[in-house]
Chain A
Amino acid sequence: MRDKEFAAARKREIFSRRFLGSLVALLILVLIQACAPRRVSRSSFPSPRISSPSGAPGSRTKPVVQGRKIKEQDLGENRSVPQARVRDQRARSPFGRERLSPLPDDSLIAKITPRTSPQRAVSLRFTEEGKRLLEAGEYARALGRLEKTIAIDSTNGYGYYYLAQTHYHMGRYRESLNFLDVAESLFTGETYWLAKVFALKGESFRALGVFRRAGSSYSQALRLNPGNQVASEGLSRIRGRTQPSLR
């Protein structure tokens, strides 16, 4: 029964294609093909090499500030929609003057705006606390805070990033890489943070002695943010390590 319906449908289609503007359809098809998006990898595992979400280097995400450490504010244009709701309102000012406001480096509290959801707001505050504890070398307490961040808001990539950093400092490099994998998927479009993620991946791979992957992670980080010092230093170290062996 269904086969008959299919056959009839096909006949109708052929009929209409003959008698009604096949040229127009062809033109539209050409247009559709031209606009068709690229195919996404089918692998169920995340690809070890992630293409730059904002296109090739040299696109408008390339930082305009040279010669100093590039901060998140300099790379703020290419954030994806989900992150836009936590973006600091000042960063969206049409005048751009507020971009130069003295935000602390990587401040997460500044990302809380009146439109930020309560879960994200409290999660960001815990992340900030965790980050400070991490900086103070209190890793166990930092872990406690940062684990709360993802329990409250599992889409908080910063929480995952700093968890990865804490595990890295505790010498748990595999754990660090696992958290970075999650952070990476949550930072799509945030080139500054993606660069940090790749740089830390590089560090973790280097610590594990997987130098090839460390190198590619550093390179990826530098493609996203040429000012990422961790990546550039890491890459130099790897090159310094590999060069003598080449001789």
Chain B
Amino acid sequence: MASSGPGVFVLKRSRSQTHKTALFFIIFFVVSGIILGAWYVTHLDGIVTAKFEGRKWRFPSKIYSDAYLLYVGMNVRMEDLREKLRRLSYRKSRKVPRAKGEYRYLKRADLLEIYLHNFAYPLEPFKGFPVRITLQNATITKMENTDSGKELFSLELEPELVTGLYDSIWQERRLVRLSDVPPLMVQAILAIEDERFYHHLGIDPVAILRASWVNLRRGGIVQGGSTLTQQLMKNFFLGDERTYERKAKEALMALVAERKYSKGEIIENYLNEIYLGQKGAQGIFGIWEASQFYFSKELSQLTIGEMALLAGLIKAPNRYSPYRSVVLASRRRNVVLRKMLESKFITRSQYQRARGEVVQRRELMKVANDAPFYVDFLKRDLAENYSNEVLTAEGLRVFTSLDLQLQRMAEKVLTEGLKRLEKDYAHLRKIGEEDHLEGAIVVIKPQTGAIKAMVGGRDYQKSQFNRVFQAKRQPGSIFKPFVYLAALAHGSEEGGRQFTPATLVEDSPFIWEYEGQEWQPANYKEEYFGIVTFRRSLEKSLNSATARIARDVGIKNVRDMAYRLGIQSSLPAVPSLALGSAEVTPLEIAVAFSTLANNGVRTRPLAVKQVMDQGGRVLERRDIRVERVITPQLTFMMNHLLEGVLDRGTGRGTRLRGFDRPAAGKTGSTNDLKDSWFVGYTPDLLAVVWVGFDNQSELGLSGAQAALPIWTDFMKRATARTPVTGFIPPPGIRMIDIDPLSGYRATPNCPQVIREAFLEGEEPSGYCPLHPAPFAQFFTEPVNSLSWFPLSRQ
């Protein structure tokens, strides 16, 4: 002490100062750290709480096709039916189907056995049961519920999932409560993922040490020490990056979550959150969805082996997926089973039995949007009532009129048809260098207005422009039936002259003066036919004769008729309207002609049928709406005339191509040949085809050349094996044989005879004077000389 001098004192003082300063900084940093740490933990607490208390998941809305009805007496193609079952994820079985989603076909006995899936239809949840369908020569002769022995007259295969409406990723999940999950399922997961779950506080030091030791020995990361809580935090909030920062954050969040929430709440969230596989665009999330995806079973129906398989998937869902490799899936399952046995969750005998379960090989049916144009149309339709946020997050279920079989057919025939046109007509390829040849098809069931299929363009990936309802094009001759129907309904505006299918009209050049302007219609290729019947004029689509009829009827009456049938676009009442100069969409044409196919009853077009929320509540139901706008008699006469278009007129190409069902239709080509149309229908199905260029380049082909072949291909496939039905004459119609040249009743000498439909009392009374039969004069009424003259001469 005595030796200490001033120098030592200074040194001591300075040391003490340094210590103090150091201490101050240490305390400062520690306190700051604690404050910051506390703040950060509070911040994380806020995040975790917000997630746990708020909306954890977004549920995409799902779009479903129409259900597929089977009934006794129905004609079915077994290949089509099996394809349908395949798409609905039914599994082929060699034994009698015992589990939902299995089916067996016995070819020799012509017997199909299906164990139907459950399905939550609006208002009527359906519980699957086993059904036996007996067939004879491709006709269903008997259907019965093999559980109850009850005979069935019809049954429905559930609607197909078309696509989901989602924000960025399609996460498919259905929430389950922990109480609804079998304890063994939870134990299987705990055994393989976090066996000390009930003993740690969010992070498991034992597991971390064990994982570190294993990784050290193996020289790489082969085992993780994350607890279920950490995994949940990672899935909820963090990405997949392997950084210490992320790990630390994950651990902190796990601690926070464990402090605030019970083990039960955490495991329940985990069971609903976990990613377990991929079905095309659809990600399989949560244990319920996985159970359905891999086994088509409810959780309560899973075997121990299946539970172990699901638990094993968590590590690498796509690697261990039984869809990908049954061997790998089985191996992984056995690892889980071994862990379950070690943890004493199962007995040895349960373990042995579960190991013996055979993992079935299954075909993966990916959900691919097969109807993108239709879905776009639906989105627009739905957007009127539901915001995008609701559609992509609220898990609505949208039931539609879509028939996926018809949709696929329509897409195929359109693509093939357009390719064929480009192959056959070189000029289309040349124009195609600037703008692709495009087309559209829309298919409607006339009785209900159900839009069964819609293809708005050739390739959705290249152009999403939906020509069915977005493209307004000149309809050309396809508009003419409205003129003829107006003529049958109203007769001549001046003079009250009535029209019948046998009325003679003149087909020659003329000038139509209208409101001080002149308009001169011209026939295709400037070819005129002189005096023709009303029918022949329509069948041959003669412009001049049609324009004369329109002039006599009054263009406003023609326009009103088009509106009445269902055209909604604005139609100017000008003479050229008669030849289809006003622009309309293919959908409008389909609706208008549906009215004819449906005996004069207009229906509103229906794409969306019902919308359900996640809880099964029906939010919206769009009913069939009908309105009789034309009498059945006039409609029948019009349909009968349009049948002639297919049999003898511009649409006879349909017959030459082998479409021989009773059907009516009309070709349409615009004057400048920019648009090619064909509309045709049987009493049960209507299709409109449009072909052209988006940039209005000249197509150079008529409706018969471009649109008709596509229509015929489609209708031949679409109506195959469906009952043949014709247009039935209603009371008040008389069918009379007519000579098409004179328009009078045919005699045995008439070389050509057409059976014509007349309103009772309007049928011609005289016999054909051009081909008189021997003694026909006995039955001939005096011919009214006036009626012999054509409608008008210019």
Taking Cβ atoms with an 8 Å cutoff, the residues of A that contact B are 2, 5-6, 9-10, 12-13, 16-17, 20-21, 24-25, 28-29, 32, 36-46, 53, 80, 82, 117-119, 121-122, 125-126, 140-141, 143-144, 147-148, 150-152, 154-155, 160, 163, 167, 175, 178-179, 181-182, 185, 188-189
Confirm or deny: B631 has a beta carbon within 8 angstroms of a beta carbon on chain A.
yes
Which residue of chain A has the shortest Cβ distance to B561 in the bound complex?
A44
Which residue of chain B has the shortest Cβ distance to A156 in the bound complex?
B447
CB proximity of A23 to chain B, nearest CB, Å: 11
Interface residues of B in 676-697 (CB under 8 A from A): 683-684
Do B728 and A82 touch (CB < 8 A)? yes
Beyond A2-B530, A13-B780, is A37–B627 a contact (Cβ under 8 Å)? no
Do A154 and B447 touch (CB < 8 A)? yes
Measured CA separation A113–B527 after assembly (Å): 55
Which residues from A are CB-within-8-Å of B630? 44-45
Which residues from B are CB-within-8-Å of A36? 761
Do A117 and B618 touch (CB < 8 A)? no
Query: Can you offer 21 A-B residue contacts whose CB atoms are under 8 A?
Result: A9-B772, A10-B785, A13-B783, A28-B779, A29-B781, A37-B734, A38-B760, A42-B489, A44-B489, A44-B631, A82-B728, A122-B69, A122-B153, A148-B69, A151-B445, A151-B448, A163-B624, A167-B623, A178-B627, A182-B599, A188-B730
CB proximity of B699 to chain A, nearest CB, Å: 35
Which residues from A are CB-within-8-Å of B621? 140, 143
CB proximity of B516 to chain A, nearest CB, Å: 31
Measured CA separation A50–B633 after assembly (Å): 14
Confirm or deny: B625 has a beta carbon within 8 angstroms of a beta carbon on chain A.
yes
Specify the main secondary structure of chain B where it touches its partner.
loop
Interface size class of B (residues with CB under 8 A): 35 or more
Do B633 and A40 touch (CB < 8 A)? yes
Do B631 and A80 touch (CB < 8 A)? no
Which residues from A are CB-within-8-Å of B759? 39-40, 42
Q: Mark B591-611, 1 if CB is under 8 A from A, else 0.
A: 000000011010000000000
Beyond A5-B770, A154-B683, is A46–B628 a contact (Cβ under 8 Å)? yes
CB proximity of B425 to chain A, nearest CB, Å: 38
Within the complex, which residue of B74, B731, B778 is in contact with A53, where a contact is CB–CB below 8 Å? B731
CB proximity of A165 to chain B, nearest CB, Å: 14
Do B72 and A143 touch (CB < 8 A)? no
Beyond A122-B73, A143-B621, is A44–B447 a contact (Cβ under 8 Å)? no
CB proximity of A231 to chain B, nearest CB, Å: 22
Specify the main secondary structure of chain A where it touches its partner.
helix
The total of Cβ contacts below 8 Å across the A-B interface reads 151
Beyond A118-B71, A122-B153, A182-B601, is A16–B731 a contact (Cβ under 8 Å)? no
CB proximity of B747 to chain A, nearest CB, Å: 11
CB proximity of A174 to chain B, nearest CB, Å: 9
Confirm or deny: B124 has a beta carbon within 8 angstroms of a beta carbon on chain A.
yes
CB proximity of A46 to chain B, nearest CB, Å: 6
Shortest Cβ-Cβ A-B pairs, 3 listed: A118-B73, A39-B761, A44-B489
Do A20 and B631 touch (CB < 8 A)? no
CB proximity of A181 to chain B, nearest CB, Å: 4
Which residues from B are CB-within-8-Å of A179? 626
Which residues from B are CB-within-8-Å of A53? 731
Which residues from A are CB-within-8-Å of B531? 2
Which residues from B are CB-within-8-Å of A188? 730-731
Which residue of chain A has the shortest Cβ distance to B70 in the bound complex?
A122
Which residue of chain A has the shortest Cβ distance to B733 in the bound complex?
A40
Do B634 and A44 touch (CB < 8 A)? yes
Measured CA separation A147–B445 after assembly (Å): 13
Do A182 and B626 touch (CB < 8 A)? yes
Which residues from A are CB-within-8-Å of B627? 178, 181
Beyond A6-B769, A117-B723, is A141–B123 a contact (Cβ under 8 Å)? yes
Do A9 and B73 touch (CB < 8 A)? no
Within the complex, which residue of B153, B624, B765, B777 is in contact with A121, where a contact is CB–CB below 8 Å? B153
Confirm or deny: B490 has a beta carbon within 8 angstroms of a beta carbon on chain A.
yes
Confirm or deny: B439 has a beta carbon within 8 angstroms of a beta carbon on chain A.
no
Within the complex, which residue of A42, A154, A163, A175 is in contact with B491, where a contact is CB–CB below 8 Å? A42
Measured CA separation A9–B447 after assembly (Å): 48
CB proximity of A218 to chain B, nearest CB, Å: 21
Measured CA separation A229–B628 after assembly (Å): 27
Confirm or deny: B360 has a beta carbon within 8 angstroms of a beta carbon on chain A.
no
Interface residues of B in 507-540 (CB under 8 A from A): 530-531
CB proximity of B686 to chain A, nearest CB, Å: 12
Which residue of chain B has the shortest Cβ distance to A179 in the bound complex?
B626
CB proximity of A51 to chain B, nearest CB, Å: 11
Do B769 and A10 touch (CB < 8 A)? yes
CB proximity of A156 to chain B, nearest CB, Å: 10
Which residue of chain B has the shortest Cβ distance to A154 in the bound complex?
B447
Measured CA separation A148–B71 after assembly (Å): 12
Measured CA separation A28–B778 after assembly (Å): 8
Confirm or deny: B498 has a beta carbon within 8 angstroms of a beta carbon on chain A.
yes
CB proximity of A95 to chain B, nearest CB, Å: 30
Do B73 and A117 touch (CB < 8 A)? yes
Do A25 and B778 touch (CB < 8 A)? yes
Measured CA separation A148–B728 after assembly (Å): 21
Do B628 and A13 touch (CB < 8 A)? no
Within the complex, which residue of A24, A32, A125, A147 is in contact with B448, where a contact is CB–CB below 8 Å? A147
Do B153 and A12 touch (CB < 8 A)? no
Which residues from B are CB-within-8-Å of A175? 623, 625
Do A80 and B731 touch (CB < 8 A)? yes
CB proximity of A100 to chain B, nearest CB, Å: 27
Beyond A9-B772, A13-B780, A181-B628, is A40–B761 a contact (Cβ under 8 Å)? yes
Listed residue (B446, B762, B778) with the most chain A CB atoms within 10 angstroms of its CB = B778
Confirm or deny: B21 has a beta carbon within 8 angstroms of a beta carbon on chain A.
no
Interface residues of B in 189-206 (CB under 8 A from A): none
CB proximity of B736 to chain A, nearest CB, Å: 12
Which residues from A are CB-within-8-Å of B624? 147, 150, 163
